């Protein structure tokens, strides 16, 4: 929720006008108006002060990185496209987050992703989960056993030499699922 929406909601629930809230918080009414309109982004101190003036207390929590679930990657696939369309930056971003936070790997891959309707993309997600598990030294998720290999090879586009290099550099977990994408196309080095 945006700060302005938070202030507006707290003010309305307390039954206060903008000017009444401003008076209680010791700030100009224009400050409350700008914050609620979203044209001013308050500091944490100001936000806490305004919320306290409504009789409430602001609490803040810090969670782990958002969207670290293999299921979130089903949104990286566009089923409405006539050709397989994958949001590669989103997929790589997920893998980058797990590289930066390896302790989150087990939780990120534990639950099965929704099926996309594209057997090859589903096989890719299962292969990714297996590689992540193997790299982390944890058991592979059980759900990957029920995902069959891609019915036809999924190869990187390009010249025959590039396709051959990708096949040679495909992680074993992907190759076993008939996915022939080079590891460096998905995983970046820790450096």
For residues 179 and 93, state if they share a domain: yes
**29-67 burial: b if 16+ Cβ within 10 Å, else e:** eebbeebbeeeeebeeebbebbbebbeeeeeeeeeeeee
Residues β-bridged to residue 77? 86
Based on the fold, state whether residues 121 and 94 are members of the same structural domain.
Answer: yes
Looking at the DSSP bridge assignments, the partners of residue 179 are: 154
Three-state DSSP class for 153?
Answer: coil
pLDDT grade for 80, boundaries at 50, 70 and 90: confident
- pLDDT at residue 3 is higher than 80: yes
The number of domains in the chain is 2
* Domain containing residue 34: CATH number: 1.10.260.40
pTM over 0.85: no
The reported pLDDT for the residue numbered 75 is: 86
pLDDT for the residue numbered 190: 46
pLDDT over 50 (residue 95): yes
Same domain, residue pair 81 and 47: no
| Residues 135 and 105 placed together within one structural domain of the fold | yes
Nearest to 46 by CA among 31, 68, 64: 31
User: Which residues form the domain of 169?
Assistant: 70-186
For 110, other C-beta atoms within 10 Å of its C-beta total: 15
């Amino acid at each position: 929720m945006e700060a302005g929406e938070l202030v507006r909601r707290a003010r309305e629930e307390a039954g206060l006008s903008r000017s009444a809230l401003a008076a209680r918080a010791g700030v100009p009414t224009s400050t409350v108006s700008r914050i609620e309109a979203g044209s001013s982004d308050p500091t944490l101190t100001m936000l806490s002060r305004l919320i306290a003036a409504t009789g409430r207390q602001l609490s803040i929590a810090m969670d782990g990185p958002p969207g670290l679930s293999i299921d979130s990657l089903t949104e990286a696939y566009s089923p409405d496209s006539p050709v397989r369309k994958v949001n590669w930056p989103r997929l790589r971003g997920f893998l980058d987050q797990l590289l930066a936070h390896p302790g989150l790997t087990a939780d990120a891959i534990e639950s099965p992703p929704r099926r996309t309707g594209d057997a090859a993309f589903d096989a890719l997600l299962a292969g990714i989960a297996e590689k992540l598990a193997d790299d982390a030294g944890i058991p592979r998720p059980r759900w990957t056993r029920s995902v069959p290999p891609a019915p036809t090879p999924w190869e990187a586009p390009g010249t025959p030499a590039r396709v051959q290099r990708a096949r040679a550099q495909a992680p074993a977990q992907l190759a076993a699922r008939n996915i022939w994408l080079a590891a460096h196309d998905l995983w970046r080095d820790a450096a």
